[in-house]
């Protein structure tokens, strides 16, 4: 029997909704993967830069983030920043982390936003999230697993530049060290080391 993939699923909110936490921690199941579920409290004064430095974020494979996180007036930088904008920034820094945005303001197909549960609905919170969130999380996990499978194939391909492969695979694993080093930078480091 093939060993299940391990997926780190992280929920980020400045005011965590218990219904989301409960569904993800207790009810959500993915038959193909073992899920490690973590939560990260967003501290508005730290801005999105602080969030990018969190080990929880770096270790994540799939992040579920509230849309209104960055619209708090106490944030130290000018302007406001939404969860959907954070998704774009995170894509640049950690391109292989999948990000899903949820909002109390309801669904938005234009920005691919998932609606939070509203009390007084005909369904329970767990039923709501099983309906609107499960398939989205499953699809995000499928993309992560696909990238992992391709990275294994890439590591075995001897025709591709080794540094490029290491940077790509390192990025998939949340390792930042290789992101800003070029092949010439690494060659210079090796040359300097050999000279010493």
Collapsing DSSP states into helix, strand and coil, what is residue 106? coil
Tell me what pLDDT residue 11 has: 96
91 in Cβ contact with 99 (< 8 Å): yes
- Is residue 133 predicted with pLDDT exceeding 90? yes
Write the Ramachandran bin of 18: left for phi over 0, alpha for psi from -120 to 50, otherwise beta.
alpha
What sign has the CA pseudo-torsion 169, 87, 64, 42?
positive
Q: What is the pLDDT of residues 5-45, one digit of tens each?
A: 999 999 998 888 999 999 999 999 999 899 999 999 887 77
User: What pTM did the predictor assign?
Assistant: 0.78
Tell me what pLDDT residue 75 has: 44
106 band by pLDDT with thresholds 50, 70 and 90: low
Tell me what pLDDT residue 1 has: 62
């Amino acid at each position: 029997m093939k060993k299940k993939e391990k997926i780190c699923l992280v929920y980020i909110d400045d005011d965590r909704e218990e219904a989301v936490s409960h569904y993800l921690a207790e009810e959500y199941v993915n038959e193909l993967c073992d899920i490690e579920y973590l939560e990260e409290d967003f501290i508005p004064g730290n801005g999105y830069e602080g969030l990018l430095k969190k080990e929880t974020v770096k270790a994540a494979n799939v992040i579920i983030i509230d849309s209104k996180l960055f619209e708090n007036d106490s944030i130290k930088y000018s302007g406001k920043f939404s969860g959907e904008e954070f998704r774009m920034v995170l894509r640049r820094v950690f391109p292989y982390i999948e990000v899903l945005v949820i909002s109390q303001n309801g669904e938005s197909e234009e920005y691919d936003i998932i609606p939070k549960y509203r009390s007084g609905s005909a369904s329970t919170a767990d039923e709501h999230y099983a309906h609107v969130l499960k398939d989205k999380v499953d699809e995000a996990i499928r993309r992560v697993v696909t990238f992992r499978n391709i990275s294994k194939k890439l590591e075995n391909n001897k025709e591709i530049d080794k540094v490029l492969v290491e940077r790509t695979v390192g990025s998939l694993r949340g390792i930042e060290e290789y992101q800003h080093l070029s092949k010439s930078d690494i060659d210079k480091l090796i040359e300097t080391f050999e000279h010493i």
